[in-house]
Structure 1
Amino acid sequence: MTAKLTIDRTVCGGGGLCAITYPKLFRLADDGHAVALATELDDTDDIAAVEDLVACCPTEAITLTSG
């Protein structure tokens, strides 16, 4: 399975939960908004972790889609 990770930086509040929880795939840019370090995911552990973060993101800025 593969999945595509995107972050809507216009919605991101910069809370940093994603970067703190999963620094392998997220960081906060100099402007304070999240950046995805990878956009195409194929590791099942990475996909599962991002699915959890999607559910926890307070601004719903993180999206994970199949494909």
Structure 2
Amino acid sequence: MKIWVDRNICDNHGQCAIAAPDNFTMDDDGVLQYKEDFSDDELEYIEDAIDVCPVQAIFLKGEQ
């Protein structure tokens, strides 16, 4: 699976960066940056990031 963020609805709240800081970060301009790929042991944190996103802009795509 891969992380996918819908940039059309992401408001750069940054809650995902708090929940899963190894996968999501905010750049110097306050814009979300993320890694699509992640390891199995990070899945719990990714799922937490999905849950805390106030606009539900984070998705998992594909097969693992």
Which TM-score band (shorter chain)?
A: 0.7 to 0.9
Q: Over aligned residues, Cα RMSD in angstroms?
A: 1.6
The percentage of aligned residue pairs carrying the same residue is 33
Q: How many residues align?
A: 63
Gap regions ≥5 residues in structure 1: none
Contact 2:17 2:49 in 1 (8 A): no
Counterpart of 1:54 in structure 2 is 50
Contact 1:16 1:28 in 2 (8 A): yes
* Secondary structure at the counterpart of residue 40 of structure 1: coil
Q: How does 1:8-47 map to 2 (within 5 A)?
A: 8-36=6-34, 38-41=35-38, 43-47=39-43
Counterpart of 1:64 in structure 2 is 60
TM-score computed with the length of structure 1 as normaliser: 0.74
TM-score computed with the length of structure 2 as normaliser: 0.76
Compute the displacement of 1:31 (Å).
4.6
Kindly tell me: are residues 9 and 31 of structure 1, through their superposed partners in 2, closer, same or farther at Cα, counting changes over 3 Å?
farther
